[in-house]
Amino acid sequence: MDSEVLLTAALGGVLGIVIGSFLNVVIHRLPRIMEQDWQAEYLQWAQEQQACSPPPANTNTTQAISLSRPASTCPQCSHRIRWWENIPVLSYLFLRGRCSACKTPISLRYPLVELTTAALFAYCAARWGVTPAAASWCLFSALLLSLALIDWDTTFLPDDLTLPLLWTGLVASALSWIQVSLPDAVWGAVGGYMSLWLVYWAFKLLTGKEGMGYGDFKLFAALGAWFGWQALVPIILLASVIGAIVGIALKVNQKLREGGYVPFGPFLAGGGFAAMLFGPQKMLQSVLSIFGL
């Protein structure tokens, strides 16, 4: 690897570690923003239906949440996090992974998200250089990582992330920023959505239960837009195999969440990252080798 590529990768890594810090905010706050919006919509509907009286004025003292407000605080003691306590990775090391006020441990996931984003951005910069393709795949990585962790935490795949991921894949294909033709991207999106939609309804008709959510359809459609319809089978096979292994491991260790539900989005995201790093064909060969085929 020559010095120019190393420098480009390093710059990508620096950008990634900064973006990773913002992704931590997105992962933590976006589900809460969704719940806040759902509550507001319900109250508006209830008032319109005269199902309940309008809430008294000024009774809701909870500050509205956005990605920028309120300022970050310790969830345990409400200590306001100062700028020097919010430097990606370095602040975590300086504080030894604890709140400076109450000494409550800070989750290791925060620096891991920052480092993972840095590694993904560095890879994209090294592989594609300073090009629209690199920017496209960096955006893909940021959105997909956020979706995977939000789904693991909450079993939600927000439209605010899945739909931009889908549309940016189609736009990047149309502009030839990624090596997927627009027809392949469009049919990839259609095939990704419809395949899981059909599985969902077949499972529901047979069992009366919902095996997955509509967010999974949209995420798979987005992956189809980025990699084309040819990548759908390798991605879903890898996601299913890894998901089954993790699900069995959680069940054996009695760590399944209530209802025994394991979100599928993180495994679809894993298949998407594998497709970006290794290519769909190598993925398919790897999955088939697991079964000795």
Query: What is the SS3 assignment for 73-133?
Result: ECCCCCCECCHHHCCCCHHHHHCCCECCCCCCECCCHHHHHHHHHHHHHHHHHHHHCCCHH
pLDDT in tens, 83-96: 888 899 999 999 99
User: Tens of pLDDT along 17-42?
Assistant: 999 999 999 999 999 999 998 888 88
Cα(232)–Cα(230) distance, integer angstroms:
6
**Burial of 96: CB neighbours in 10 Å, binned 0-12, 13-18, 19+:** exposed
Rounded to two decimals, what is the model's pTM? 0.90
Mean of per-residue pLDDT scores for the chain: 89
CA distance 230 to 236: 11
The tens digit of pLDDT for each residue in 173-186 reads 999 999 999 999 99
Confidence of residue 282 (pLDDT cuts 50, 70, 90): confident
Contacts of 130 (CB under 8 A, 6+ apart): 8
Q: 114-162 pLDDT, tens per residue?
A: 999 999 999 999 999 999 999 999 999 999 999 999 999 999 999 999 9
Segment 55-76 shows an average pLDDT of 71
Region 197-218 average pLDDT = 90
Q: Where are the domains of the chain?
A: 1-130, 131-293
- Choose between 149 and 262: higher pLDDT: 149
Q: Which residues contact 63 (CB under 8 A, 6 or more apart)?
A: 69, 70
Q: What percent of the chain has pLDDT over 70?
A: 91
Q: Which residue has the higher pLDDT, 197 or 281?
A: 197
More confident: 120 or 244: 120
Q: Residue 211: pLDDT above 50?
A: yes
pLDDT in tens, 1-19: 688 899 999 999 999 999 9
Q: Give residues with Cβ within 8 angstroms of 60, minimum separation 6.
A: none
Q: Grade residue 291 by pLDDT with cuts at 50, 70 and 90.
A: low
Q: How far is CA 135 from CA 195, 208, 223, in A?
A: 29, 43, 17
